[in-house]
Structure 1
Amino acid sequence: MISFPDIRTNLGDYVSDFVDFLASSLEGFFDFIFLIASRTIHGIDAFLNMMPWWLFILIIFLLGWYFRTLFSGVLYGIFIFLIGSFGLWEDMMTTIAIVLAAVIISLLIGIPLGVWMAFSKGFSTVMRPILDAMQTMPSFVYLIPAIFFFGLGNVSAIFATLIYSLPPVIRLTELAIRGVDKEVIESAQSFGSSKWQMLRKVQLPQAMPTIMAGVNQTTMMALAMVVIASMVGAKGLGEQVLVSINRIDIALGFEAGISIVFLAIIIDRITNGIADKLQRHRRGDK
């Protein structure tokens, strides 16, 4: 048997040293991020828990009715009611707060980066392998720097979720901007539109349905991280799944798991409904 030569590159050690350097030199920056993210989660969570249960169900019903159908609205309302009947209402609100915070941050970062990539081939060339690595790296790996920078808790969950869910909105925003009809762009240029005016009034409105597809994918990937994020101390439905695994509690595992499925269905259908409405509006359909 021929063994591999005794060669050690120590690449992991270099990465570890780099992370140590970031943690020590940017400590104030990470503390600031922790403060903002923590207050955002607690604010959303407090607002959702302050809302009467029947009002929240009514809002879900109206969103489902408006963006899908009356039957969808009723079905989504039943799903939310069932989650409450499992005794997981507060856990559901915490999960929604974490997902919303992660998605909002992802959109604030991802859409501008996608626009930049659409306008700059050089930047796009640099970003594509980074996005490939973010999407293909095992999601558990993201928990390591999350714990290192922010400790255990919901903020670490947002950090890990952010890395995992950011690529889709960046990629689809770039694709959407690049896919805008050239004749429309030439028409806007002939009227003397500046690059900013063309982006704001022509390209973004035309690209919005595809961007909304990116929002949908980002939201679904953020929700998919709920259980994994519970391993770094994140609360919510993912924590209940982890507890059920530790206790081998089939009943709790089923209820928490099906609750995540219900949320995934609701979020997926409503965001797709928003994209469909934007598409019909762009075509001039009623």
Structure 2
Amino acid sequence: MVKMKKFLTVISLASLLFFGGVSVKDSLLPVPTVQAKTKYAKAKIKLPAGYTKSALLKAYQGKPSAKFIKASMKGMKENTFSRTNASESAKDNRTKINPNKLTKAQLQELTSFSLRLINQARTQLGLPKWVYSSGAQKLAKDIAKEYVANKRGINNGDHYVAGIVRACKKNGLNFDDNYVEDMAGYYEPRTKITMTKMKKNIYFALKQMIFGYTGPNEKAISKKSYYREWEHAGDLFNTQGSPHDGDYDYYGFSISKVGKVYSLHFIGVPHFAVNDPKYNLNFKVN
């Protein structure tokens, strides 16, 4: 298969398990927030000057420039929704959700939230927007079911490729590896959290992926040594040095839970693969 997504080492709230040698429990800490008067505003992702497609491609290939690392560090610092008392609405602060038993409306809200952030960043790079797809959403749900059924999650340190492949084939995609999933996650002992907290978890996960940050929380964002993985960013921005750079994906999102660890599944089905009968045997976009 022409390279679309690379089989990635998972970078998430669990990342230090693989890079820094800390325990799973310590590396899956909830994202801290600063207590202050609540400000209501839509969460946004802004890319700093110096964060360009050409610089990202070099970072994706393992050769980030000093200027690009500096821009990524600035991005982690300036995009603050995940670490402040900000919220998108008073309703989000009041609404308690069970991430393991989301209603259809709640899952759709979180899917739209994550897609909005991804597309905000893509637009700043001059890239076409990813497109929500009910087919990709079904695939995301089936992938989450595979993780749960086989007791797999972010804490295992890699993608559950066998389950991803089974889910893809079930949904009519002829893939033999992980070409669809980026994954993050968090540790949470509580059954219910607010919608605001869930959105902050998603925001932090996407911020990590975009800016190559491998720390488990916001405390080390000023340490240059934690910026070293932009493979997820290459996926989110279809910038991997392949013939399909600049393309877009069909998007879906899901959450799985094993024990007290929640895994976030960001699913992107490449547009070009959907249009290729070699890969699309019976996948329905909508």
Q: Same fold (TM over 0.5)?
A: no
Q: Greater relative contact order (Cα 8 A, min sep 6): structure 1 or 2?
A: 2
Higher helix share: 1
TM-score, structure 1 as length reference: 0.24
Tell me which structure has the larger Cα radius of gyration: 1
Higher strand share: 2
